Amino acid sequence: MPMYHVMGEVPRKRHTQFRAPDGKLYVEEVFGLEGFDGPESILYHRRSPARISHARPFEPRPIQEWVPNEWAHRHLRFADFPVGGDPVRGRQPFMFNNDITMWYVRPDSQQEFFYRNGMGDEIVFIHEGEGTLRTMFGSIPYGPGDYLVIPRGTIYQFEMTPSSEPQRHLVLETPGHFSIPKDYRNQWGQLLEHAPYYHRDLRRPTELDYHGDESGAFELHLRVNNGFQVYELDHHPFDVVGWDGYNYPFAFNIWDFEPKAGRLHQPPPAHLTFRGPRFVICSFMPRMLDWDKDAIVVPYHHSNLDSEEMLYYFNGNFASRKGIDLSSITLHPSGLPHGPQPGLDEKTIGMHWTDEAAVMVDTFRPLKYAAVAEQWDDPAYKYSWNDGPAGEGPMTVE
């Protein structure tokens, strides 16, 4: 996070005595990345954050891989993804490699426990739904289009605003770190004029959610070692009376992303939003299209020679795709070219605006599918570049 932030009470100097009104010392925690070289925050707890009252047996949750019969372009119909579970334990993995795991959930029940990811940073993209992300750093109200960027180790709890409609969350998890692209920042960490967002767009925790003196029975679910460790606590885990630093959760709304347009077609990096180890996250948002009178306004065919391209479509009409719904996911894997379905390059000539909105993750190592993907696979998609009865006929299903 490029900005220093402080909330609540902190002592004048770090690593010094800091006492509660009852005279007891607050417990200091250094919450930092990359050893002691990365961004860190210093938190002051009411009691030791290492305190637990009981450790339950570890629950392994290895990902079950689905290996399709063909290596081909793929479309997952997540519009019909099942509703169920809470925002954390209800998540189901659908694609993964060593750098990133992608999860999906349509939660319809509240998260009654507290959660901490001990093995990765998370970005939770809120497609549908609103509520509050309560964290040990304070609360962040959230709504549709929010990227919730949550550093590993953050204890948090989703509080969904009650609604008849289940929410939709796309969750990206990496054993590395998410970052704001270097080329958007100067050496002082300030976002530059050409960056597609600014500091004012980055929403930090608004108020501390202090429960320092609350005892009782609480559950903390820790994600580690590809599974879950559940601890029982005899105190409320949000016992931070104050903190300061650079390592904390924040929200950025995709509708605050400022797309670029050009005389001729702009490449995907023009939509770059966040970086991770060997992958990038891009935001394709409603924008003017290429204005040259001879422009082809839909993306040219391109071969993903060094990368894989996952797209999550969440708003608008997709000028370059056929058979795609809201909440659809496509994977255009390495080794294969892809581009607009037949006729769409012609059909879109003269178009000046697109209202399409999608989140794209480009990975520089191949992606695998997890078991749930098989259930929602659209077997016709790989044939959707067949334009009519050239002996084959379009969209033939195996």
Question: Which residue ranges make up the site for Fe ion (CB under 5 A)?
Answer: 309
State the minimum distance, in angstroms, from the CB of residue 288 to Fe ion: 20
Which residues, in sequence order, are bridge partners of residue 114? 220
We find the least distance from the C-beta atom of residue 63 to Fe ion, in angstroms, to be 25
215-224 vs 114-117, strand pairing mode: parallel
CB 228, min distance to Fe ion, A: 35
Of 241 and 357, the one with the shorter C-beta distance to Fe ion is 357
Taking the least distance from each CB to Fe ion, the nearer of 199 and 301 is 301
Minimum separation from the CB atom of position 311 to Fe ion (A): 8
Rounded CA separation 26/14 (Å): 12
Q: What residue is closest to Fe ion based on CB?
A: 309
Q: 293: number of CA atoms within 13 Å, CB side?
A: 0
Closer CB to Fe ion, 160 or 331, in the complex: 331
CA dihedral (371, 377, 381, 383) positive or negative: positive
Cβ atoms of 366 and 308 closer than 8 Å: yes
Of 167 and 304, CB closest to Fe ion: 304
Nearer to Fe ion, 28 or 309 (CB): 309
**What's the one-letter identity of residue 270?**
A
For Fe ion, which is the closer residue by CB, 5 or 73? Answer: 73
**Residue of 315, 323, 304, 339 whose CA lies nearest to 379:** 323
Provide the strand spans (E) within 89-224: 92-96, 101-105, 114-117, 121-128, 131-135, 138-142, 146-150, 155-160, 168-174, 202-203, 215-224
Alpha carbon distance 310, 143 (integer Å): 23
Torsion of CA 88, 90, 95, 98, to 10 degrees: 40
Number of neighbouring beta carbons within 10 Å of residue 67: 8
Distance in Å, CB of 329 to Fe ion, minimum: 14
Q: How far is the CB of 333 from Fe ion (least distance, A)?
A: 11
Closer of 88 and 285 to Fe ion (Cβ): 285
Minimum gap (Å) between residue 339 Cβ and Fe ion: 7
